[in-house]
Structures are given as structure tokens and as C-alpha cells.
Amino acid sequence: MWDSGDISRIEMAGDVKTELERRQQIFAAAEPIFIRFGYRKTTVEEICKATRISKRTFYNLFTDKFDLLMRMHAQLAQDLTDRVRASIPDNASGAVGIYTYLDLFFEVTEERPLFRVLLEEGDLMKQMTEIAPTDEQFSSVLVLLTEIVQSGIDSGEFRQMDAWTVTWVIQTMLDSIHVFMMGNPAASQAIDIDQFIEEMKMFIVNGLLAKQD
């Protein structure tokens, strides 16, 4: 379930709902519209019509359409973070942590195609990368991945490297793969996607492992 926003109250046509409830309502209505039409072709008017709210209420809750999409993606990022943290066993190795993160990343992006809306728009990706490191919900997933990498470095399982830089390398690879597959349907049909994902996970983990004497 969507979960975002402060618990202030907004009144509309005799119907009193919390800001949290309004945001959840708009998130739920906007997601299929973004997925169907993409970011550029989706309008605030369409979202308001689907949600049965006024534009005034929309702009009380969000700065603009981009702000709405970013808040939706931020919540998805937080959901991914929570699922990974809950799934990694205590005292797990760095490799297990990375595999868990990658498995759930692909699972969540498959379940929630809203992730792809952002990846399809190059300028949106640029704006997101400017926001992500400073936004608490966006950065939560980056912080988590950095923690996993750093734990592997500290234990000697992974080679010595800068964990934050490696986090961005991994996340950029994951995003780039989605962009490539979406823009090349022939490639998606020519290869076994499940095998492709498994090979990519091994490629990432093997690149992190320290050399054994």
C-alpha cells in the first residue's frame, strides 16, 4: 500500500481526509496512468479526474507532476529497502547480501512497472540522480547497498574499494539494463531473461570478491 505524506487534514466537498489518505488515493490513481501513457503524455488534469479531486487540492499536495512521480518512486525505493533489510539473514556474507538485493530489485521492478516510467525518460533520470543522494527515501536504498558492500570489504570477503562508488556502479548497471531491454525488444526475445539476470548477478558479485591467494 502506498504510504507517504504528513498527517494533516484536508476538507473537500464535506469529505474530510488526511493528507496521507489523499496522497495514497492519488498515487493509486496516477500509477496506471503513468504506466499506460508515460510521463510526458500524462496530465495533471487526467490524474485529478481519475482521483476525483480538484487541481487546487493536487497542488496543495504536490509542487507539480514531477514532484508526484518522484514521491511515488521514493516510496517504491523505501519499500525495496524495507524488503531487502527484512530478507537478509543475520550475519550474512557480503555476497549473500548482494544477491538478496539484486533478487529483490528485479522482483520489485517486475511487480511495479512504475520504475520503468522513470527509466524511459532520459531527462527524468538526470533530475532523479540530482535528487536521489539528498532525498531521505531515495537515498535509503543507496545507503543500504553501500552498507552491504562495506560489510563485505570489512570482512575481507570483498576487495578494497570505495563502497559508495561501487554502489553507484551497481545501481547504474541495473538501471542501464532496464533501459537497454526496454529499447531493444528484439534482444529481450533473443535471450533467456532469467539466465541473463543470473549471469549478471554472478558478474557483479565476482567483480567484488577479493582474490584468493
Q: Which helix (H) or strand (E) holds 9?
A: strand 9-12
What is the 3-state composition of the chain as percent helix, strand, coil, each rounded to the nearest 5? 75, 5, 20
Tens-place pLDDT, residues 76-122: 888 899 999 999 998 999 999 999 999 999 888 888 877 777 666 65
Per-residue pLDDT, averaged over 3-15, amounts to 41
Q: Are residues 71 and 167 in the same domain?
A: yes
Residues 6 or more apart whose CB falls under 8 angstroms from that of 62 comprise 26, 68, 71
> What's 91's domain CATH number?
1.10.357.10
Q: Are residues 56 and 81 in the same domain?
A: no
Taking only the tens place, the pLDDT of each residue in 10-54 is 444 445 468 878 888 899 999 999 988 888 889 999 999 999 999
CATH number of the domain that 36 lies in? 1.10.10.60
**Amino acid identity at 119:** L
- Does 72 fall in a domain? yes
DSSP one-letter code for 10? E
Domains contained in the chain, number: 2
* Residue 38 domain boundaries: 9-62
Asked if residue 188 lies in contact with residue 181, where contact means CB atoms within 8 angstroms, the answer is yes
Q: Percent of the chain, pLDDT > 70?
A: 77
The pTM of the full predicted model, rounded to 2 decimals, is: 0.78
CB 70 within 8 Å of CB 34: no
Residue 169, judged by CB atoms within 10 A of its CB (0-12, 13-18, 19+), counts as middle
**Separation of alpha carbons 56 and 74, rounded Å:** 23
Q: Is 1 inside any structural domain?
A: no
What is the residue-averaged pLDDT of the chain? 82
Rounded Cα distance, 165 and 193, in Å: 27
Which pLDDT belongs to residue 5? 38
